[in-house]
Structure 1
């Protein structure tokens, strides 16, 4: 597979479609700085799938599209194609030519094509996998990689090695797995918290179930009490409502007569009010007429005053207008005279300006002629100077060549003299290296034998340690199992002891009596019967089946205590309760004998007689499913739902015995584990010592191998250096002859160029004199032209001043004429307005006298209306007083009716409220509630007290959960589900931890394998570039290769230094190139692009670099971007020139192969 062509269109500075053809060997790309050479390497990276904009030297990927220039607009897309020859089938596609294309638009659309057919980036990666191509491969080697290898930051150096090894993918997978592990651990912690919360909820629901039962008992009693109180209250309200109905009838009958009296009084009051309104209306009308007459007289007086003021103002204005008209006439005559004088002055300045312009044109022409003569003389002088400089440069180049040849000849002679002595020294070094190599081979064989013996001993020790490790694991598993069994028994024991302390399972009434036992006196209530009976589990089951609820009986001291408890029971009503007084046993013991069940139990204290009475002569049949007492009666107990107090105490005894036995077993298992673990530690120590011995033996083998390799390299280097010395001696002899001939040629050329330089310098002197004469003529013409320009400017300024004065006077003349006409029109209008105003003032004075007479009549009529209004007010006041008295009587009757209705409504509302309360609280209709309740035979005060007590008990009990049982079952199911989820998460956590370990092992193996390959290639290429010396790559910590630093050691021939920082810059760059090529050869590609990697190399190191390219170009196709002419001339099989003939746009201008140059404009990519 071989790269045949690169196509670019719109990529960075390559705006036009550009093609570059490639053949085998080395293709150089040259050009000045900033012309776009490195854009070629960016294009190769980009088309192979590079996704990082910073690698493309940009902030975002759209910047690879041509951005435009001063003469061109930006393009809309960038496209790059790579053409490969697939004759050898290196790419798994049935095509002889494969074209990879990438296209990007400014809209952000990125497309990939395979042989012009659309595809995915993943398809291209799959296609080139295994060929050394790809965005992360070493197909492009650039100068910044040298800086990364030589920098003090180990991460930059490690990054190149990791890319070559391909461990970056594993690092990404490890980080992703670690994130998943963190998330899983967090989920597991949250799930543990949730499980704890649900467990607590289950315990809480268990307690809520018991409270719900107590709540139901209190609620039933409260129902009866509330219904009794409510029925009594509603009966009392029913009687009061009957009395209110009779009273409301009488009050409603009297209401119409009161309303009739109020209506008559209101009619009288309305008539008086209407008379008052009529009088007030007449007064208002006359007051309005008087006000209008007064306003009209005042308005007319004001208009007369305004007219008089206007008449006086008009007289003043007419006098001012007469004065202004006289002044304007005088001004107009003066302006006309000045305008005639300005017109004559303008005509004279126009003639003078024309004459000055003609003179200026003549002087400008003369100056142009003089300037042309100066330009011609200066051009001739520049040609002569250029010719002199060229001759001098040629002589200087020839002189430098002669001096260089003489220095090189002296150096060659000196090198030839020292070469003979060096030849003998190299021969002695070769013989010494042969002897040292033989000794190293013998030492290596001995070290390998010792290592084999150490490996066998280490294997035996590891097997022994493995056996003890297995025994230790078994012992630990036994200890864990025994601990778990002990914890389970201990937990069950603690739970049962807690139930025993809290009397769980005891009848509620018995438990209530035991809590209140102190009120009966010390020793009065002894405790439940079960506390005085002991038996094994089987017997306890038989006793509980036979006794049934009797097992919850409470033993009391005597019958008096039993009576006190009976009174307490009537008040507290805790439920069914059985009492066993001790002084009642006398009547029960007659004829009693120990029976079968009585003989199987152990009793304590005074209750022994009660036990014989209850269990005497009782035998179990059918395995305890039935019993026969002394009378022959057959007892068939029902199935019990759970263990009773007797069985719980029997189980407690058994669990305490089991805990004691478990403690002894735990101690024995711990002692066994201690012995096994001590043996295991000893075996591990022995295995570690054997492994250390084996490791030391292998290290001695590696040291011997390293010494042997070092001796072999020394021998090879000595042999190669001896051969190089012989070849160098032959080359030096030929070079001395070449340099002698070159010095003779340089001397002849210097004499020839010296004669030509003398003639050229004489020609320059004559040309300088001619240029001086032309400069003097040009200066005279320039002065004359400047004087003419000044005269022309002065004439032009005078003409402009005259024209401006004439225009200004014309405007003043026109303005004066217009002002006179305006004043004349204004005087005429003022005279007409005065006459009209005088006539209006005479009419207004006559009208004012008539209006004053009308005003006097209106004021007399207004006084009469005021008297009529006062009389109507007095009549209206009397009618209002009478109406108020009648209304008070009606309001009193209405209030009585209203209070009666309110009481009726209140009682009805109370009945409705109590009905709503009861129906809402008990959720049944009131009729059903009253029909189904059982009345409580107590007085009202006792019922209210009990209702309050029941309400307090409910409040003290607090809210209960009636669905506690169902919720308890749901929470238990939820807890089981969560525990299953936790087990799954724990298993996933272990799987992720195992995946991380496997990733670390795989990445370590890949890195070490690649590191060793790069190391071998680096040594080989280093010897090729430096012609000898030593180099090596070392890991700072071989035990942690994925995290430690990589050290580079290099010693060129003749130097003992190991640190690359002590080498010269050129040597350091050459060492870095050796390592970069070593990395490249580890993952070889069909071609390699070198981007200005030879920039820091001098001439001698450039020669080594060229030799390396010539050595590898038979197997690898090289594209070299360079500034160095030796790289271009000595190594390149084809050369492309990149330039910017148009600013901002790169183009190919020429191509040179091993033949004549080809014009790139005619053939953009003619390399074959």
Structure 2
């Protein structure tokens, strides 16, 4: 088994899918602190089944999932996969490559896969048992583990030794076996309880069966008595039904008479009801007339009240309106006086306003003249500034331009020099030659790759065919092996049963036979061949003689038989003895009977055992021939029923020797089948081994071809990469030369242009400076005139502002007077309008008052008339009401008489209905009794006819109770007692057999465990001694001298711990804890390498174990690793340059992106070759 790849996705800092390849036996993992190197070790331990987060440097198992960084979000799942090649695992012989994978999601669900098939964690750990690999094995040494290993407790160090000895898998299976044995013992204890319970139940069932028959007799008597009791009840119900039907007919006649009288009474009552209705209608009309008059009186009274209230309201409104008119006239006079005063004030202020406007006009005119003069001077000043700014600006521009041109000239000259130097360093012809040579080499390597891929395809197809054939033959072999296992188990069970049936498991008898030299004497049953179907018949006839020992001379046992062993002992003399012949019954053979002797074959004559026993197929034939039998003869049927002239023997299921001959035949058949199957298994095993060897060779050839293809592909990839780089470099250089030429020409032209522009700029600057000196005097005169004009404008502006403010005050005062004048005019107009409206309202109110007063007298007259009519209508209502009350009293008398008749009719109907319901209930009960009797096949009429005249329900109930008391005295009776007894008896026999088999199996397992413990002691002791020897060799190589040893701590080698003692050269330390850190590290490395010498694991992972070592010790450590790498694959993490030098491949782990680990892989040999070329 060899580790080829490690695939990480989302595990700790390896967030992206990352694959670490291990193509050689020395692979180094390097990188700065904190970049994620140790996560590689954690990943390998985690995928192998590590379940402790603490061992993975975390607080919870979810800590192994990438938890995000500044630029990346957390992910939900981590996945690790280990790929092993050159696999030789007994559980999976058909696989040459195994991929072990583990996934963990944030919800805590952990999933394992084996070759992409989901499996259990135990399946993964079982693969690595005994190989030295595991989540906490000696093959994976992480940071700090060296010190923990060397300082481990004796029990913890023993685990490493057990793994090295290869007994860890046996220890695990031993625990499982002991657990199963404990469960089996618990099951057997429960089984014994069940057997004891069954024994008690069988005793009870025997007693219950005796009571069953008596119970059945009493039950039949009870059923007859109950049927007769129901017949008595049926007869009583039938008589009651007839009496009730007669009563219903009599009461029905009385009811018809009362109904007829009630109908006549209703006719008279109807006439009186009509008269009462007419009187009631008259009363209703009188009341309606009275209520109409009452309504009219109320209406008139309400109208009069409303008219009087309205008049009072109108008179109040007129008085209020007169007061309002007087108030409005007073306000109108006051407003007219204020208007006259305002007219005078307005006239005076308008005169003042005209004077203010004239003064403002003169001030504005003076201001405009001063501003015009200032504007002319400002225009002249601006014109001068414009003329004087032009030479100044021109001078400034020319200075700036001159500076830029001088700077640009210096830059262009410097750039021209650099371009000349750059062009001299480029050698394009050499690069073109290298590109052409690479193209030729790529073509050659591509041809080689095509040939290698064709060879690989051929090997791959051959391996696939061999693998299919191997898998098919493996499946066949497993099927045949399973058949052999099943038949072997069945054969062992049958042989055990056969030995028990033949009495070969009786220790006392076996000891007696051993003493007489008869232990190996064959049994009679083992020597017989019986015709199929007649085994049971022969077993019954021979009985215990089937266990007979076949001896040559029975007389030799005469003395020994004076003290025979306990139990059955039968002996059959196989020597030739003369016995009296008995004549054959010819009449039986003529009638189809055959001697039972003819159906049995044996090495010796069986005449003395089977003479006189005939055989027929059926019992009817045996009965028919029984009268022909002689006194010494008998007939046996194929069913096992044995008849004599006057006797019969049937032993169905009772003979302990039953099945001996059939079982012997089955044993012979299974033995023959096993022989054939074992030959087939041997042939298939040989063929399968040949196919596996061929498959292994084919896979090796395929792997070699694959390696060759990979190497060629890598070589081709490197050449193509070099060619691409050189081609890109060539194109870049050509473009660079062209750019240099173009840029040089442009720079030369630009330098010439800049020199010419610089000369022209200097001339323009000189002219601008001369013109600026001539304009200075003119600037001073213009400035003096402008300042004087500005003072004049300020004074005139102040005068204008004063006149403007005065004019504004007068305007505001005039406008305010005009506003008040207009407001008073509007108020006068409004008051005049209100007075007109008030006059109209008063006229209208006076009209309404006159109109309201006119109908009051008319309504008063109508009210007096209606009150007189009301008195007359009230007298008519009283007379009509008296007539109605008289008629209602007469109706009430009739209603009372009718109610009495109707009540009597209802009583009759109730009595009839009650009698009818009773009759129907009796009929239903009678019908029910008839149906119940019919279910028991009894007829009520027949039962009543058979009953005596004195039969009554009470006496028959007493007889039933007497039978019930007898049944009660019997108690609860199990009617299925016999059947249950047979079933429970068979079950107990089955459980007894199962118990015996389990006891034998437990004994076998206990013996096996003792054997394993014995072998474990031997193997562990041998391993400890061998590791001690290797440790005594490794320790001096690493220390340059000294000695170390392993010692047992405890007396029981199965449980004793292991302690390590070390003495570096020149020291007398007796305990490991007295060593320095570097010495402890070297001692632990020596121990691990010593274990590897004994039981090398497929690979060894070392995480900075050289950190505490100095350079000399690191050198010895590297020498030892290099030597052991011929047999063991080493993957080490280190910061030491000396350790890095021994690696064939270096895998760099970087963390350019914060929190995310990435790989950079370098092949040392290829790197050296590239440097040399």
For the superposition of Structure 1 and Structure 2, which TM-score range results when normalised by the shorter chain? 0.3 to 0.5
The normalised TM-score by structure 2 is 0.43
Larger Rg, first or second structure (1 or 2): 2
